[in-house]
Structure 1
Amino acid sequence: MDNPTPEPQAVCSPITGSAIFIVATLVPDPDSIAKVRAWCGDIAALTRSVGKRVPSGNLSCICAFGSSAWDNLFGHPRPASLHAFREFGEEGRRAVATPGDILLHIRAEQMDLCFELATQLLNPLRGALSVVDEVQGFRYFDMRSIIGFVDGTENPTGRKIAEFTLVGAEDPTFAGGSYVLVQKYLHNMDAWNELPVETQEKVIGRTKLSDIELDDSIKPSCSHSSLTTITENGQEVKILRDNMPFGRPGAGEFGTYFIGYARSPAPIELMLENMFVGKPPGNYDRLLDFSTAVTGGLFFVPSADLLEELADREPSEN
């Protein structure tokens, strides 16, 4: 009997109302590495235990690993396309790389579930991990970003979600896995809100109220939607976004946590290159005149089956 397709982590789960994003670095000593490796076998059970308390809460957790962390924790074999985050752009408009070995994407319909699971996941790793970024995201009205436009309209749906997000025969050892790229953007809302709605729409490439894509005859080539639409052999290559707004109004902080899943990092990286460098160079995404990327990381999401197996894997050099 052929081996069944590995069970993926909750990459394809429905979008929820709340999320916590945690990026941490690994303390590079043998005890910490062993502790984190063993913890991989506990993530699913902890998620089930917390989730059972509110069955309707749709709690899930995705755990992913950066390139150097994979080598330190698990060694070879390693995912074929896993590498350090690639920076794009120039000073003042740059997709920056920031430290990050482990990503936790925790989501549920309500924040208390996310909060409880984050607590239970991090408690056993005190001293072994250092959290370098933590964002609590919320769903904003009808799936809108903090700048007022609907986000994620062009996400794949149905069976297409798995087709665009899950590794298959191209890297069979890691089938059922996914690549995930994250960035935290801060927005200059005062400057953005000074723009007329019609100008905002040309920056995004869609209408603000009805979320209809602008006709090509009036949509600028430097609009966000133009530069993030990727085609290959005449077919659009999609990614799965689960972006979340976040902010602290009292501190004047308004942001978007970008998180994109794909079966290869290549299409997301091409989107970033188009946005930050331009297509052609110089024709960059005008949304970046109002939005600044302050973090950036690329991670691999092993399948749920592999994640549990990794708890017992000793790192090797070949």
Structure 2
Amino acid sequence: MPTDIPEPQAVCNAITRSAIFIVATLNPGPDNAAAVRSICGDVAALVRAVGTRAPTGELSCVCGFGAGVWDTLFGAPRPANLHAFREFGEGKRHAIGTPGDLLLHIRADHMDLCFELATQLMTRLGNAVSVVDEVHGFRYFDLRDMVGFVDGTENPRGREAVDFALIRDQDRDFAGGSYVIVQKYLHDMAAWESLPVEAQERIIGRKKLSDVELDEAIKPSSSHSSLTTIEKDGQEVKILRHNMAFGRPGAGEFGTYFIGYASSPEPVEQMLENMFVGRPPGNYDRLLDYSRAVTGGLFFVPSATLLEELADRKP
């Protein structure tokens, strides 16, 4: 990890076998705000306390805050690019924004570790927040998403992951932090599975079995991989995805929880605009004919150093 920025949270940790995503809203009142500030100083200690019981479990927790609650909790200064989730598209193809002030992204190789940490954190938060969404995710075979394709193939790794995911000089007060966008997608698996594999591959832009990218001569410009490739000044701009599959087969629910970290919300927002509106407009991501976004939120993730300091912040 670079030494020219404060210690980050576990943004760049490797993908684990299990995850719990909790999105909550802050309940009114100064005591509730104080309770949320207090937990900022305790997250690291709780991770250590639970994680020590299974040292190889790779337990971690990333804590982020939404635009609508930052000033109430912490006052000035404010992260430069923190704003409400930008919605894209309309009708059945709509990147919808939903309520969310606090994000907890809990990861481990064993769900019991995630569950125990989530229990401890929510016990400490008590009535200070109201949970509006909770998803228990799992790694699906060899990092496949629910539609059967490998997810996160183009994720940056090592130093490149740090460079794309963490803030540096662009906002020195918040160096070591990150922005994260989350969305919960539900899939119409019956309709998707009715497609021939070749049709699925053209929608995704990759071979289903081998994960090899389709040749540019045959890959549609509306493919998912085409529309989520972002370039700026001739260089590809990447984000760090930690997506997880989730579902309830008995209820007919099959989904993918998208979570993308970046040093600015801009590249993720550009991807969403390309997908939901199209590049050019109308040339949208055909995966959205089978997948529907039902939540959406943007959060700022302070560095681990700043997170502890925020416990004593007086707005």
**Superposed displacement of residue 127, structure 1:** 1.0
Alignment of 1:93-104 (within 5 A): 93-104=93-104
TM-score (norm 2): 0.99
**Superposed displacement of residue 312, structure 1:** 0.3
Residue 157 of structure 1: aligned partner:
157
**Superposed displacement of residue 108, structure 1:** 0.2
Residue 225 of structure 2: aligned partner:
225
Determine helix, strand or coil for the equivalent of 1:245.
Answer: strand
Residue 21 of structure 2: aligned partner:
21
What's the CA shift string for 1:97-149, capped at 9, x where partnerless? 00000000000000000000000001011110000000000000000001000
Residue 122 of structure 1: aligned partner:
122
The one-letter amino acid paired with 2:267 is: P
Q: Give the Cα separation in 2 of the matches to 1:218 and 1:65.
A: 42
What's the CA shift string for 1:233-289, capped at 9, x where partnerless? 111000000000000000000000000000000000000000000000000000000
Q: Give the Cα separation in 2 of the matches to 1:289 and 1:245.
A: 19
Question: Which 4+ runs in 1 deviate beyond 2 A?
Answer: none
Contact kept in structure 1, 2:230 and 2:236, CA below 8 Å: yes
**Superposed displacement of residue 91, structure 1:** 1.1
**Superposed displacement of residue 225, structure 1:** 0.3
What's the CA shift string for 1:206-250, capped at 9, x where partnerless? 000000000111000100000000001111000000000000000
Residue 69 of structure 2: aligned partner:
69
Provide structure 2 residue ranges, at least 5 long, that are not aligned to the other structure: none
**Superposed displacement of residue 28, structure 1:** 1.8
Determine helix, strand or coil for the equivalent of 1:261.
Answer: strand
Residue 31 of structure 1: aligned partner:
31
**Superposed displacement of residue 38, structure 1:** 1.3
The one-letter amino acid paired with 1:46 is: L
TM-score (norm 1): 0.98
Determine helix, strand or coil for the equivalent of 2:299.
Answer: strand
Q: Give the Cα separation in 2 of the matches to 1:242 and 1:310.
A: 26
1:288 maps to 2:288: yes
Q: Give the Cα separation in 2 of the matches to 1:200 and 1:35.
A: 47
What RMSD, in angstroms, separates the aligned Cα atoms of the two structures? 0.8
The one-letter amino acid paired with 1:283 is: N
Determine helix, strand or coil for the equivalent of 2:169.
Answer: coil
Q: Give the Cα separation in 1 of the matches to 2:246 and 2:216.
A: 32
Q: Give the Cα separation in 2 of the matches to 1:39 and 1:202.
A: 46
Residue 143 of structure 1: aligned partner:
143
The one-letter amino acid paired with 2:210 is: S
The one-letter amino acid paired with 1:158 is: G
Q: Give the Cα separation in 2 of the matches to 1:267 and 1:131.
A: 28
1:308 maps to 2:308: yes
Percent identity, please: 73
Provide structure 1 residue ranges, at least 5 long, that are not aligned to the other structure: none
Determine helix, strand or coil for the equivalent of 1:126.
Answer: helix
Determine helix, strand or coil for the equivalent of 2:284.
Answer: coil
The one-letter amino acid paired with 1:134 is: E
- Number of residue equivalences: 313
1:105 maps to 2:105: yes
**Superposed displacement of residue 4, structure 1:** 5.2
